[in-house]
Amino acid sequence: NAGVTQTPKFRILKIGQSMTLQCTQDMNHNYMYWYRQDPGMGLKLIYYSVGAGITDKGEVPNGYNVSRSTTEDFPLRLELAAPSQTSVYFCASSQNSPGELFFGEGSRLTVL
Amino acid sequence: GNSVTQMEGPVTLSEEAFLTINCTYTATGYPSLFWYVQYPGEGLQLLLKATKADDKGSNKGFEATYRKETTSFHLEKGSVQVSDSAVYFCALDRQTGANNLFFGTGTRLTVIP
C-alpha cells in the first residue's frame, strides 16, 4: 500500500497565484485532514473531512478551500497565495476515533 | 478547550543516555493522548498512545504513562540511540469527534555517538 500520497513535494508561488495540493489515500479511511506546520509552532489543523461530501473548518481555514468528492481524495486549494501561507503542509487520514493518523510526506510551499 | 504544553527543545543527548520529554495537558474529561515522531524529511508517525488514565503506552523502547493527578504524559526512554534523532510531538484528542487532534509544538532530539 502507498498509504497517503501528497503532490507536489515542493512548490514556489508568487503572491496572488493559486494552486491545489493533491492528497490521495488508498486505505479506505473515512477521515482526512490537512495540517500546516510552521517552525516552532507545531501542527495547525486547516480543514478536515469525515467522509465523502462532508468537510469542516479547523483552526486556521482562512485562505484555503477543500473538497471531498471521493473517499480517496482530499485536495487543498489556495486561491490567492500570500506570504503568510509559506509553510509545510501535511495531509493525513484515519479510520476511526480515537485512532492513528497516517501522514503523507509533506508539501513545502513558499510564497514570494 | 483541550490542549497540550510540551517541553521546548532542542534536546541533545549522548548515545545510551536517558530521555525524558515533558508533556502536560489541559482538558475536560479524559481525552486520549499520543506521542508522534517525525524523522527528517518525513511525515509524522504514531509512536505510542494511551486512551485512559493510568494507561501506559509503549513502543520501540519508549514509554509514556497517562497520569491524571499531574495531567501529564511524559515520554521516556532508558537508552537512546542515534537513530532516535527526530522531532517528537505530544498530542491529544480534542473530543470533538472525527479524531481531531491538538498537537504540541514539538521537541527536537539529537543523539550524538
What tens digit of pLDDT does each residue of B41-83 get? 888 999 999 999 999 999 999 999 999 999 999 999 999 999 9
Mean pLDDT of the B11-24 span: 97
pLDDT for residue A41: 80
CB contact under 8 A, A50 and B105: no
CB contact under 8 A, A43 and B44: yes
To test the contact with chain B by mutation, choose from A10, A31, A33, A37 the residue with the greatest count of B C-beta atoms within 10 A, namely A37
What tens digit of pLDDT does each residue of A64-98 get? 999 999 999 999 999 899 999 999 999 999 987 66
Does residue A53 have a pLDDT over 90?
yes
Does residue A40 have a pLDDT over 80?
no
Angle, alpha carbons A77-A80-A86 (nearest 5°): 80
Q: Which residues of A touch B (CB under 8 A)?
A: 4, 31, 35, 40-43, 45, 48, 50, 56, 58, 90, 92, 94, 96-101, 103-106
Dihedral sign, Cα of residue B4, residue B5, residue B6, residue B10: positive
To test the contact with chain A by mutation, choose from B39, B44, B52, B89 the residue with the greatest count of A C-beta atoms within 10 A, namely B44
CB contact under 8 A, B100 and A104: no
Q: Which positions in chain B touch A56 (Cβ < 8 Å)?
A: 98
Contact criterion met (CB below 8 Å) for A9 and A105: yes
**3-class secondary structure per residue, B49-110:** EECCCCCEEEECCEEEECECCCCECCEEECCCCHHHCEEEEEEEECCCCCCCEEECCCEEEE
